[in-house]
């Protein structure tokens, strides 16, 4: 008995398989409009005494939330690439944005991360230290890693 090669369209084959194996992942959800990044604007600042230049980023979402981050002076070409990469993403997609901008300057990435964290903090109406799980009154010295002697952890309070 000879076999005939019957071609089944891909949609039909998928429909048959779906009857036996449900999808493992949920369909991609639309970004939350409250957190969806709509615009990114830069403000260049110069200190009058020292002459140092800084860049402040303002990240704005479709829901009207704003977040701010700062870094050293930034090249305008880098900023256009950043805006294209983050537009339409949620402010909570830190890892995705970091991966897409892996070749961007570190200072610019730090400022963008600060702005995204600021937006998330404003959306939950809590400062960043609270959604990181740090207790109030904990100083930054408790966060650093020291090779000398261990610093008393905030966990021990």
pLDDT, tens digit, for every residue of 72-87? 998 888 888 888 888 8
Least confident of 11-25, 52-66, 97-111: 11-25
- Report residue 153's pLDDT band, with 50, 70 and 90 as the boundaries: very low
What residues does each domain of the chain span? 37-125
Positive/negative CA dihedral, 23, 27, 28, 34: negative
Instruction: Give buried/exposed letters for 74-86 (b at 16+ CB in 10 A, else e).
Output: beeebbeebeebb
Higher pLDDT, 32 or 156: 32
Distance (Å, rounded) from C-alpha 75 to C-alpha 85?
16
Least confident of 8-12, 109-113, 114-118: 8-12
| Predicted model pTM | 0.67
* Amino acid 61: pLDDT: 93
Percentage of residues in the chain having pLDDT higher than 70: 69
9-14 long-range CB contacts below 8 Å, 24 or more apart? Answer: none
CATH 3.30.390.10 fits 37-125, yes or no: yes
């Amino acid at each position: 008995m000879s076999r005939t090669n019957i071609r089944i369209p891909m949609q039909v084959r998928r429909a048959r398989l779906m009857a036996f194996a449900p999808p493992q992942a949920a369909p991609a959800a639309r970004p939350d409009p409250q957190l969806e990044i709509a615009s990114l604007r830069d403000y260049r600042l110069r200190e009058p005494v020292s002459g140092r230049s800084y860049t402040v980023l303002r990240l704005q979402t479709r829901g009207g939330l704003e977040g701010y981050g700062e870094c050293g002076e930034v090249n305008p070409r880098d900023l256009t690439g950043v805006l294209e990469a983050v537009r339409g993403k949620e402010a909570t997609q830190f890892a995705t944005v970091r991966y897409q901008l892996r070749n961007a300057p570190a200072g610019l990435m730090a400022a963008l991360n600060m702005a995204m964290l600021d937006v998330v903090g404003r959306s939950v109406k809590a400062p960043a230290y609270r959604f990181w799980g740090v207790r109030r009154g904990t100083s930054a010295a408790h966060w650093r890693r020291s090779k000398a002697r261990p610093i008393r952890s905030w966990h021990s309070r």
